Structures are given as C-alpha cells and as structure tokens.
Structure 1
Amino acid sequence: MEISTVMWPTRSWPEAGAQWRRAEELGFGCAWVYDHTAWRGTTPWYDAYTTLAAAAAVTSRIRLGTMVTSPNFRHPVPTAHAVKTIDHISGGRLTLGIGSGGTSRTSDSGILGGPEWTARERADRFAEWTGLLDRLLTGPETTYEGAYYSAREVVTGPGCVQRPRVPFAIAATGPRGLRLAARHGAAWVTTGGGPPGRAPRDAVRDQLAGLRAACEAEGRDPAGIRPILLTGFTGEPFLESPQAFADLAGGYAELGIAEIAVHWPRPGTEWDADMKVFEEIAARHAGAR
C-alpha cells in the first residue's frame, strides 16, 4: 500500500515550499492539496493550482494533486489550461482529483452568486464538467455546448506530458459518481463515510462493491482504478501511533484500498498530530517503499 499526504495551503512562500520539499524527503507517493477559496473559516487559504505549480518547481519525484477540484467555482476551459501547465512544469507528476463539490458557503459553494444548486443539478454538473475536461485535455480541438458548460474552438496542443492526459482521481460514493469514476477515473477517492451507524470499514466495503458494479456497467476492468482512502473524517486514529496506522491500513488493504492519504499535522486544530509520530509512520510506510 502507498501512503500519501494532504497539505494545507495556509502557509506563505517560501515556508510552504520547504514543507513540500519535506513531504518529498519523507517518501510520500503523492502530496495532495485541497482546492477551495476558503475552508471552515481558515484564513489565509492559498490557491491550489498556483500552489501546485510552485510545488512542482521545488520538487522532482513526488506526485502532486488536487483533493479535490470541483465545479463550484472552476470552469473546465481555464481549468484544463492550468492542468496542462502544471503537468509540464512537474514533468508529468500531476494527478487531478475531482469531486462534485460541497454545499458549505464557508468553503466555495455559491461564491459566484446565483441560485443554490439542487442535489440533482450538482450531480449533473459534476458529470458534464468531468466529461468536458476529459475532452479538453485530449483534444486536439474542442467545441461543446452543454446544459451548464460550453467551449468554442479550444485548441489543446501541446497537450499533457502524460498521455492520453493527466490521470483523474474521482471522489464519489453514490451510483452516478461511481459510474463517472468507472468511465473516467484512473483512481477513486473515498473518505470512508457511510450511513449512520455503519462502521467506516464496512462502508468502504460497500462502496468498493458499488465501484466494481459501476465498472461492470461501463465495461471497465476495476483493476485499472486505484482506490484511495482520504483519512481524517471517521474518527479512526490513523496518526495516533505507527502501530495504529499499520493496523488500520492493513485492514483497508485487505478490502482493496491501494493508497492511504493522511493529513499533514496542523497544530491547534482537529487535524493536529505528533509530528514525530507522523514522520515515523512516513519512514516505515512511505520512505521504505
């Protein structure tokens, strides 16, 4: 199993650059960053795409990614342009995490104004946004008129370093989102959340079964999709100790999870953890790869 980390875009440069270099030194397979304009009232909160471009310039091995981009405030056309640019700066190390977006106005929902999206519209936008982004990144030229998004004679060249495009990691748990992951995803992301009273591991087992069913419906081999567990949302003590991490990660590996993403410790918040424990976990499970 691979271990990755989620970075907080709250520090200014060059302090943030040193943290990204440290993530690479610790051996993490990927360093992800949340893509919001703000999050749970945190200030400052820097832009994900410009952060990734800067991180790409000061690292050389670690993969970089969004966890996750959404249609809430990004249009597929400029997003595709930024994605291609970062893929070139990084030498083909970018993975694009994509989700339907949240509903909290303290993050990014509704910041562009207009009526609130219904759950159905959010799902429709997610599907159309992802499909159009796929076309924009594979080109060579895209003209599209959809229900929510459009593009006119957008030239893709020179395209992505990675072919046929930057890989997508689709965050979803419902039937429509899982079909989208089966259709477009190189990876699939879950936070492990499930119905009330359902144990996180049981919920992930159910979701993996749903992903396999979606792959069957799409004619896709599920072995071609990398399951990623984003930790920190179910109360499981992944960062309590190296042994706690090993026990939890081992249980999820048995289910089929291929990558565990842990948050970089953030003092003074619910995401805090002992940095020595964090680095020991990295040494045992990331640096030893």
Structure 2
Amino acid sequence: MRLSTVILPVRPWHKGGRDEWLRAERLGFHTAYTYDHLSWRSFRDGPWYGAVPTLTAAAVVTERLRLGTLVTTPNFRHPVTLAKDLISLDDISGGRITLGIGAGGTGFDATALGQEAWTARERADRFGEFVPLLDRLLTEDSVTYEGTFYSAVEARNIPGCVQRPRLPFAVAATGPRGLKLAAKHGQAWVTTGDPKLFEAGTPEQSVEALRGQMEKLGKACVDIGRDVADLDKILLTGFTPEPGRVLESLDAFVDFAGKHFELGFTEIAVHAPIPDSDFAADQAVFEQIATEGLAQLAR
C-alpha cells in the first residue's frame, strides 16, 4: 500500500511552492504528483505554473520523493518534445520520475492552441498513437515515425532515461481502448472513479463502479497475456462521491482507503490542501493522515 499526494502548481516557488514539495518528502509520501495543465477549472483566473519546470525545481530540492504528473495529455504536448523533457527530468531527479498520462478532456487545455476541442473518439485516436510513440522515443536512441497525428524524423534521445528501459507510465483510462494501452505500455493504471457518480452517486455505487473498472483492466491484460498484478493501480481521490470526506479525519481516510485497497488499489493519491478552493482541508489532519494513515490500515 502506498500513499501519495498531488500538489497543484498554484503557489509561486519562493512564496510557499518550494515548501510544499519539501513537506511532502518530510511527511513520507511515496510520490508527489502535479497536474499537467495550462490552467484548470476554478483556478483558471489565478496563478498556475508549468508542470515540467515545477517538477524540475522539486527534483533539485528533494532527495527521496518520487515525482510525476497526473496527468499529461496530448492536448498541448507532442511526443518528441515531451520525451526530451522527460529524459532531462529523469536525469535531474536521479531516476525518480513517473509519467501519469491520459487522453485528455474538453477543458481549457483543449482549445488553448487555437484548435477545436477534439471529440472523445478523436482524443482516443490521438492517445492511441501518442503513447506507443512516446514509449519508443524513451527507449530508442533514434526514432523515425510517420503517423496520422504525429511524426518524428531521426529524433535523438541519447542517453535515454536513468530508469531502464524507461521511466514508468501510469496510464489513466476507463474505456476499452485506453485500458488496452495501460495493459500494453503501463507500469501503473490510474482512475478517478466514474464521473457520472460524482454529484449524484453514493460511495457504495462508486466502489462497485471501480470494481467494474478493475475487472475490465484485468480482461485487457488477459487479452495480451499479461498478469494484471504486474500493474500498480492508482486512485486519484477528490472525484468520487463525497470528495471532501477522504481528508475529513484520520478515521474517514482509513475507512475510505481500506475499502479501496480491498478492491486491489495499490496507491491512493490525495490532494495537498488549498484554502478557499475545491481542495480545502485541515492541514493538520492532512499531515496526520500522511504520517499515521497507512499504519492504521495495517492494523
């Protein structure tokens, strides 16, 4: 069982941002992730910093904490340039980077470069090309590829990642095409639950929906001859029914986490508190969960 956190890039580095990453390491979190967006929902009109520079800075000031994105998408990324950034990040961090990667959505990122928002099918089509190409770029010295959406011409990525054969992918997916990508290319699978249940569903319905997602992931692995136990299963909290309950108290966290670890999740990620936002929570409770939560679950 692992407990990780998500630090949204909303604080200037020298005015609290740096301290959050250091605190995450001090509290013993397994990984500290950040969103890879250009802006996000209720934070759109406030400060929001880039994921790659933020993770680079975090890599310099931390020593043990794993670092990553939840999640990077094709909405404004290209595999060739992303691969170069990731190889550099993996080097600077000493091999502590995990790439959370997903197909993307219809938020602000989707049209920021001037394009029309892609349909769900178009996002899945691009994702299906993006992930295998990125896999090659991170494992081969030189890649030439001509696809429907992406191309690479003798793209050089020497010396490659510190982690071999490449840094791990945590693939966010719930549909059949995305789950196939997770089964084939992922070292981990990520979900936020069933979005249809967020506002009107119950915790019990959410658990059953997640159980169904687990079963579909298992089938996708069986179809390619892979043991589903080889993949870590990550639950990003905050998007299931009663999202605030997870960090309401130590007991509430233990109850929530216990039910989801029983489903087969190996890692739970909780958002670091941000006052006056959707992720507001008591900092003292958050720190208690970080330091005592897993020990309570192990009893």
Query: Unaligned regions of 5+ residues in structure 1, if any?
Result: none
Aligned residues: percent identity?
56
Runs of 4+ more than 4 Å apart:
194-198, 286-289
Asked if 1:6 corresponds to 2:6, the answer is yes
Q: Which residue of 1 aligns with 2:211?
A: 205
Q: 1:73 aligns with which of 66, 76, 79?
A: 76
2:93 aligned partner: 90
Segment drifting more, 27-36 vs 112-121: 112-121
Contact 1:191/1:233 (<8 A) preserved: yes
Give the Cα–Cα distance (whole angstroms) in 1 for the partners of residues 13 and 282 of structure 2.
Answer: 24
Mapped pair 1:219 → 2:228: no
Q: Which amino acid aligns with 1:208?
A: M
Select the structure that is richer in helix: 2
Instruction: Determine if the alignment matches structure 1 residue 53 to structure 2 residue 53.
Output: no
2:273 maps to 1:268: no
Q: Which residue of 2 aligns with 1:62?
A: 65
After superposition, the C-alpha distances for 1:16-73 in whole angstroms (9 at most, x for unaligned) are 1111001000000000000001111242100001100000000000100000000000
- The Cα of 1:286 is off from its aligned counterpart by 5.7
**Which is worse superposed, 278-287 or 220-229?**
278-287
* TM-score of the two chains, using structure 1 as the length reference: 0.96
Task: Give the length in aligned residue pairs.
Answer: 287
Residue pair 1:26, 1:286 contacting (<8 A) in 2 also: no
SS of the aligned residue for 1:92 comes to coil
- Please list every run of 5 or more consecutive structure 2 residues that lacks an aligned counterpart in the other structure: none
Change (3 A) 1:94 1:265: same
* Equivalent of residue 280 in structure 1, options 267, 273, 288: 288
| Rounded Cα–Cα distance in structure 2 between residues aligned with 1:56 and 1:42 | 27
**Alpha carbon RMSD of aligned pairs, Å?**
1.5
Instruction: Please identify, of 258-267 and 10-19, the stretch whose mean Cα deviation from structure 2 is larger.
Output: 10-19
Aligned counterparts of 2:235 and 2:3: Cα–Cα separation in 1: 10
Deviation for aligned residue 1:115: 3.1
- Mapping for residues 68-147 of structure 1, pairs under 5 Å: 68-105=71-108, 108-147=109-148
Q: Which moved more, 1:158-167 or 1:233-242?
A: 233-242
Q: Which amino acid aligns with 1:52?
A: L
Aligned-pair CA distance for 1:111: 1.1
